[in-house]
Amino acid sequence: MTGRSHPDGSLAVVGLGPGDPSLLTESARRALDAAEDLVGYFPYVARVPERPGLTRHASDNRVEVDRARHALRLAASGRRVAIVSGGDPGVFAMAAAVFEAVEHGEPGWRDLAITVEPGITAMLAAAARLGAPLGGDFCALSLSDNLKPWPVVTARLEAVLRADLVVALYNPISAARPWQLGAALAIAAGIRAPGTPVMFARAVSRPEEAIRVATLAEAPDLPADMATIVILGASTTRLIHREGRPPLVYTARTVEGTA
C-alpha cells in the first residue's frame, strides 16, 4: 500500500466527547456514520456501535503515531476512515499525532481530505458540572512526562501558577506515573494559598462519574487516576456554598489591577 492519495479516500479525526452519547456533536456523528474503517485506542473504539460495513481497527495505548500512519494508509488506499479520540482530538490526543505522521510520512498523504471533528474535552465537561471554574483566564497542562521531560512540566506549571491562571491538569496519575500529581500539588502549595479550591472530576458524564471539591491543603489525600481531570483554582476562584448540595465554583471575570 503506498502513500498515493485516492480521490475518494478521506480521514476524519473525531472527538467522541466525555462519554455520554448525547454529548457527541452532530458533525462527529455524521463522520462516524460515513466511515468504512474505524481506528483508535481500544476503549474509544468500543464506544462506537458496531454496524454492517464498518471495519474496526483497535490498538493499545502509546502507539498514537503508528495508529495515525495506519489510518492514513487506509485513507490513501481509497477508504473513508475515522480515527477517534475521547474528548477533543486536538487536546492531548490524536489530531496532533495525525499531523505529525503527515509531516514526516508519505508525500501523497498531504493531498488527502483530512478533517477534524471537535469534541467536548474533559476540562469543559468538568467545568460545566462544577459551575464556571474556567470563567477567567486558564490553561491546560498535561502532567505526563512520556513525551516531554519532567523539568519542562514543572517549569511550565510554576509559570502558570505564578501568573495566577486556573490550571486544568490532564493525565494526572497512572500506574506507571504514580507520583507526578503529588509533586505538582506540592509545587502549587508553595505558590498558592492553602484554601485555594481544587476540583477533581472523574469520568464526567459516565455512570462512574465522581466530582470532589477540596482545598489545596486537602487535595493530596484525594484519589485520582487517568480518568480524572484536576482543576487548580486561582486567587479569583470562588465557592458558593449551598445547604445539602455541592458548592458551585466559578472564577471571577474581573481581576484587580496592580500599581
Span 66-73, mean pLDDT? 97
Residue 67 belongs to what domain range? 10-120
How far apart are alpha carbons 114 and 132 in whole angstroms? 33
Please indicate, yes or no, if residue 103 is contained in any of the structural domains: yes
| The predicted structure's pLDDT at residue 132 | 98
Helix 94-104 with 64-76: angle, nearest 10 deg: 60
CATH number at residue 191: 3.30.950.10
Please indicate, yes or no, if residue 145 is contained in any of the structural domains: yes
Residues 88 and 147 in one domain: no
Residues 141 and 241 in one domain: yes
How far apart are alpha carbons 22 and 75 in whole angstroms? 28
Count of domains in the chain? 2
Q: What is the mean pLDDT of the chain?
A: 94
Please indicate, yes or no, if residue 144 is contained in any of the structural domains: yes
> What does the H/E/C string look like for 58-121?
EECCCCHHHHHHHHHHHHHCCCEEEEEECECCCCCCHHHHHHHHHHHCCHHHHHCEEEEECCCC
How far apart are alpha carbons 212 and 53 in whole angstroms? 43
CA-nearest of 60, 56, 61, 86 to 71 is 56
| The predicted structure's pLDDT at residue 251 | 98
pLDDT in tens, 182-231: 999 999 999 999 999 999 999 999 999 999 999 999 999 999 999 999 99
Span 118-126, mean pLDDT? 97
pLDDT band at 2 (very low <50, low <70, confident <90, very high): very low
pLDDT in tens, 56-66: 999 987 789 99
Burial of residue 201 (number of CB atoms within 10 Å: 0-12, 13-18, 19+):
buried
Residues 107 and 65 in one domain: yes
In the chain, % of residues over pLDDT 90: 90
Residues 143 and 115 in one domain: no
Domain boundary among 69, 86, 120: 120
Residues 115 and 130 in one domain: no
| Residue 1 in this model has a pLDDT that exceeds 50 | no
